[in-house]
Amino acid sequence: MAYDLEEQEQLDEFKVWWNKNGKMVTRLLLAAIVAFAGWQAYQTWMENKATAASTAYQTLVSNSLQDVDAKKAEQISNDAQALQKDYSMTPYAGRAALFAARALHQAKQGEAAEKQLQWAVAEAKEPAIKHMAAIEIAGLQIERNALDDARKTLEAIDDSGFDGLKNSMLGDIYIAKKQDKEAKQAYIQALKGLDPEGKLFYLTQQKLDALG
C-alpha cells in the first residue's frame, strides 16, 4: 500500500515513539488486563462467599429461640462464631452474632451474650446491626444494674432511626435512678420517634403519664 509523504512522516514518527515507549505501553496494558482479571476473580470470590454465608446463616436462624437451654445456646454460639470466622466480610456475620446473643441471653448466659454483641458493634458490616447490638448491650447492662454504663452505651448511638427506642430506654434508666425530670424529657423525645400504632409507643406513653 502506497503512502503519500505526510502519511509516511506520521508513520516514521510513530515508529520512533513506539521504539521509545512501546515496552512501557505494553507493560501498562498487561497490568490493566491483570488488574481487571483480578477484580473479576475477587468479585466471583465475594459472590461465592456471600452465597455460602447466606446458607450458613439460614441454617443458624432455623433454630428456635424458645426454651433454649445451655447446650443449645452453646451450639448456636459456636455456629455463629464459625460463620464470623469464615465470612466476616459479609453482612451475615454481624447478623449471626446478634442471633447468637439472643440465644445466649435466653439461656441466661449474659456475659457470653454481651461478647457476641460487642463483636457485632465492632465488626458488623451493617450500621443497623451495630446499633441494634448496642441497644441490646444497654439492655443487658440495665439488667445487671450498670445504669451509667447503659446510659453511655445508648448515648453513643447516633442513628435517628433508633431515637425512639433509645430514649425510651434512657427514660427507664432515669426512673431507676429516681431522676423523674430527666425521665419525663426522655419519654417525650421517645414518643416523637416511635410508631404511634406500636406497643412501645403505648407503654412509653403510660410511663410518661405516670410521671404526671
Flag whether pLDDT at 202 surpasses 90.
yes
Residues 20-72: tens digit of each pLDDT: 777 777 777 777 777 776 667 766 656 777 788 889 999 999 998 888 899 99
* Residue 32 grid cell: 490493566
Q: Given this model, what pLDDT does residue 1 score?
A: 47
Q: d(Cα 142, Cα 173) in Å, to the nearest integer?
A: 7
How would you classify residue 11: left for phi > 0, otherwise alpha for psi between -120 and 50, otherwise beta? alpha
CA distances to 31, 173, 187, 192, 197 from 162, rounded to whole Å, are 47, 17, 14, 11, 17
Cβ contacts of 189 within 8 Å, gap of 6 or more: 163, 167
Binned at pLDDT 50, 70 and 90, residue 212 comes out as confident
Helices 163-176 & 147-155, crossing angle to 10 degrees?
160
The least confident of 48-57, 121-130, 182-191, 197-206 is: 48-57
CA distances to 25, 68, 105 from 101, rounded to whole Å, are 55, 12, 6
Cβ contacts of 112 within 8 Å, gap of 6 or more: 73, 77, 104
Neighbours of 159 (CB within 10 A): 13
* Residue 93 grid cell: 456475620
CA distances to 19, 94, 152, 159 from 156, rounded to whole Å, are 62, 19, 6, 9
Residues 79-100: tens digit of each pLDDT: 999 999 999 989 999 999 999 9
Mean pLDDT computed over 162-178: 96
Mean pLDDT computed over 143-162: 95
Task: Tell me the average pLDDT of the chain.
Answer: 88
Residues 98-130: tens digit of each pLDDT: 999 999 999 999 999 999 999 999 999 999 999
Helices 127-143 & 91-106, crossing angle to 10 degrees?
20
CA dihedral 74, 78, 83, 89 (to 10 degrees): 90
Q: Given this model, what pLDDT does residue 51 score?
A: 85
pTM of this prediction?
0.77
Q: Name the more confident of 41 and 163.
A: 163
To the nearest whole percent, how much of the chain has pLDDT over 70? Answer: 87
